[in-house]
Amino acid sequence: DPIRMEKIVSLCKQRGFIFQAGELYGGLNGCWDYGPLGAELKRNLKDYWWRKTVQERDDVLGMDGAILTMQQVLKSSGHLDGFSDPMCDCLLSKARLRADQVPAQDGTAVWYSGAKLESSGWSTERPFAVLVAPDKDPASAKKVARQFYAQFMPDKKVSPKELELIEDRQEQVTGVTNFNPENGSLLTEAKEFNLMFKTKMGASASEDDPNATAFLRPETAQSIFCQYKNILDSNRIKLPFGIAQVGKSFRNEINPRNYTFRSREFEQMEIEFFCRPEDGMRLTEEWLEARLNFYEEIGVPRAKLHILDVPDGERAFYSDKTYDIEYEFPFGIQELEGVAYRTNYDLRVHQEGSGRALEYFDEDTKERFLPHVVEPSAGCDRTVLAIICEAFDEEELTDSKGKKDVRTVMRFVPRMAPIKVGIFPLLKKNEEQVRICREIQKTLQPWMNVFYDDGGAVGRRYRRQDEIGTPFCVTVDFDTLGENDPSTKGTVTIRHRDSMEQERLPVSELLAWLLERVR
Ligand code: ATP
């Protein structure tokens, strides 16, 4: 639903959740800055992940590794030689595109993989892609497509209906990868493009010195594997146990897209859970379940998640089992997290690469072996985006006079909401109301984010908080002062974001009442 996505992107900018990085100078593609509310939301997510993963478990320890990574580490892990995506040059638009990428909704370029065409009745010998760009001339586009089909799929009659399939989507074929419409010949194969950012360390760095070459890490996992032995030796911990890390990773994605979903700089939340070989499969299932519960707790319901049991042949070669946890984004069902059983691949390659023993000695059985690893690897930015997409709502309201209205409300679960409470004096001019509000603010601030607002009608102040997802608003009014009825003195109105219902509570109970609901 592109319209829904547009509204979300616009609200995020207007209310200060997310901005394009370098926007002032035209924008840095694939990079995003989180504004005041976005930063709070992201922090809530990371904090809650850490709390559930490290703080509330006694079998997982945390770490915080360096972003700059030695070439040798990435040589052993396989990233140096193999962390790449197939890239094609479009002959007509000259754009560089990821050859295996399925349709984007951003209207600039869409690729149909072989499989996609097959599902619409085409059969293809080898995967190929059709580039469609809505701004190109449709007649010539159609000609190119016909020419391609005639040459490479002569047995396949190109029915007008099949061409319509593409036109229906208001997209036109303008080019075909590997296909030169001028002379009808196949050209360049897709090239492998390494996704890592490379940099030079130190002032005297020469171009070809591998010791002076460093990379921005493409995942947080490698520092965990490399420090596994140090962590084991410096902590009294036994298998099975995990090491968790939250932090930035960098991938020079060929086509960043779908807002923050595919970025070049992003944060990951990764756990490497080390275990005995015979426990790997069972723990993979257990972690999948734990991670699904986590999403429920942050406001991404189970019903909107899809579990992809990645089939043989599509998993990484070292993985015996991989589940992708996918979410129904407005732009399609896409991966949030991978839960992969990686066998002992990682420790094995680092043991071989470093020449250092990484084996575990089991005191009980007197065995020495390389532990196996189960890895739940989640994307922080993708999860923030899922939380935002899930929370965004436009609610139709009818007032007592039958007047219709639309309320924009971000239905964040309270523990994720950037601001937990709005605090309003009913009347800005009433000094006593303002004084009590400021006192409430001081009491709550060490515990949670609050927002004091005295501008405009109270109804409008509620709506502003609805739009940024504040779950509760506290209003100090004349009843708080006990002016009409002494029995209400010292109580405030609490207004609930979702139901818009109100209740009264003594100020003295406010902190405990809120803490119970926002943790
Ligand atoms: P994709 O297939 O979407 O490129 P991946 O399978 O390569 O992702 P992993 O290497 O398994 O991703 O990384 C683990 C997690 O890190 C992903 O599930 C995702 O949440 C996050 N992630 C990976 N690449 C990006 C990116 N370019 N932008 C934002 N998040 C990312």
CA of 266 to the centre of ligand 1 (A): 9
CA of 345 to the centre of ligand 1 (A): 20
pLDDT value at residue 56: 98
pLDDT value at residue 255: 82
Whether residue 268 has its Cβ less than 6 Å from ligand 1:
yes
pLDDT value at residue 145: 58
Q: Beta strand 367-369 with 360-362: parallel, antiparallel or unpaired? A: antiparallel
pLDDT value at residue 124: 38
Q: Which of 335, 341, 381, 387 maximizes ligand 1 atoms within 8 Å of its Cβ, making it the mutation to test the pocket? A: 335
Residue for token digits 């809650």?
Answer: 48
Q: Which atom of ligand 1 is nearest to the CA of 263?
A: 28
Q: Please report the ipTM that was assigned to this predicted complex.
A: 0.98
CA of 243 to the centre of ligand 1 (A): 19
CA of 264 to the centre of ligand 1 (A): 10
> Which residue, among 215, 225, 221, 146, has the nearest Cα to 179 in the 3D structure?
146
CA of 39 to the centre of ligand 1 (A): 20
* Alpha-carbon distances of 285 from 51, 280, 383, rounded to whole Å: 21, 9, 21
Give the DSSP H or E segment for 451. strand 450-452
Q: Which sequence spans correspond to the domains of the chain?
A: 2-83+197-388, 84-193, 419-518
Whether residue 98 has its Cβ less than 6 Å from ligand 1:
no
Give the closest residue (by CA) to ligand 1 atom 23.
Answer: 379
CA of 251 to the centre of ligand 1 (A): 9
How far apart CA 26 and CA 377 sit, in angstroms, is 32
How far apart CA 413 and CA 411 sit, in angstroms, is 6
Contact 31, 23 (CB under 8 A): no
Give the closest residue (by CA) to ligand 1 atom 21.
Answer: 379
Give the closest residue (by CA) to ligand 1 atom 8.
Answer: 335
Query: How many C-beta atoms lie closer than 10 Å to residue 400's C-beta?
Result: 5
How far apart CA 499 and CA 98 sit, in angstroms, is 46
Q: Which atom of ligand 1 is nearest to the CA of 268?
A: 16
> Which residue, among 391, 399, 392, has the nearest Cα to 459 in the 3D structure?
399
* Tokens, residue 425: 């004096």
Contact 411, 470 (CB under 8 A): no
Whether residue 266 has its Cβ less than 6 Å from ligand 1:
yes
Biggest CA-to-CA distance, the chain? 91
CA of 31 to the centre of ligand 1 (A): 15
| pTM of the complete model | 0.86
Whether residue 381 has its Cβ less than 6 Å from ligand 1:
yes
CA of 65 to the centre of ligand 1 (A): 19
- pLDDT tens for each residue of the chain, 519 residues long: 789 999 999 999 999 999 999 999 999 999 999 999 999 999 999 999 999 999 999 999 999 999 999 999 999 999 999 998 877 665 444 566 665 543 322 222 233 333 333 333 333 333 333 444 434 455 555 565 566 556 555 555 555 545 544 443 333 343 344 444 454 443 745 678 899 999 998 877 676 777 789 999 999 999 999 999 999 999 999 999 999 999 999 999 988 889 999 999 999 999 999 999 999 999 999 999 999 999 999 999 999 999 999 999 889 999 999 999 999 999 999 999 999 999 999 999 999 999 999 999 999 999 999 999 999 999 999 999 999 999 999 999 998 899 999 999 999 999 999 999 999 999 999 999 999 999 999 999 999 999 999 999 999 999 999 999 999 999 999 999 998 899 999 999 999 999 999 999 999 999 999 999 999
Whether residue 217 has its Cβ less than 6 Å from ligand 1:
no
* Alpha-carbon distances of 172 from 110, 127, 158, 247, 352, rounded to whole Å: 10, 20, 15, 41, 51
DSSP, collapsed to helix, strand or coil, labels residue 19 as strand
Contact 467, 15 (CB under 8 A): yes
What is the distance, to the nearest Å, from the Cα of residue 240 to the centroid of all Cα atoms in its chain? 28
User: CB within 8 A of 36, min separation 6: which ones?
Assistant: 16, 418
pLDDT value at residue 92: 44
pLDDT value at residue 123: 34
Give the closest residue (by CA) to ligand 1 atom 24.
Answer: 262
> Which residue, among 423, 429, 417, has the nearest Cα to 507 in the 3D structure?
423
CA of 379 to the centre of ligand 1 (A): 6
How far apart CA 246 and CA 498 sit, in angstroms, is 32
Whether residue 262 has its Cβ less than 6 Å from ligand 1:
yes
Contact 477, 433 (CB under 8 A): yes
* Alpha-carbon distances of 284 from 60, 277, 376, 464, 486, rounded to whole Å: 15, 12, 8, 43, 60
Tell me the HSE value of 438 on the side-chain side, using a 13 A CA sphere: 7
Give the closest residue (by CA) to ligand 1 atom 1.
Answer: 335
Whether residue 77 has its Cβ less than 6 Å from ligand 1:
no
What is 2-83+197-388's CATH superfamily? Bira Bifunctional Protein; Domain 2 (3.30.930.10)
Give the closest residue (by CA) to ligand 1 atom 11.
Answer: 338
The 10s digit of each residue's pLDDT in 5-35 is 999 999 999 999 999 999 999 999 999 999 9
> Which residue, among 372, 345, 350, 342, has the nearest Cα to 360 in the 3D structure?
372
How far apart CA 250 and CA 246 sit, in angstroms, is 13
CA of 301 to the centre of ligand 1 (A): 21
The 10s digit of each residue's pLDDT in 365-377 is 999 999 999 999 9
What CATH class has 419-518? alpha beta
CA of 220 to the centre of ligand 1 (A): 12
Contact 287, 376 (CB under 8 A): yes
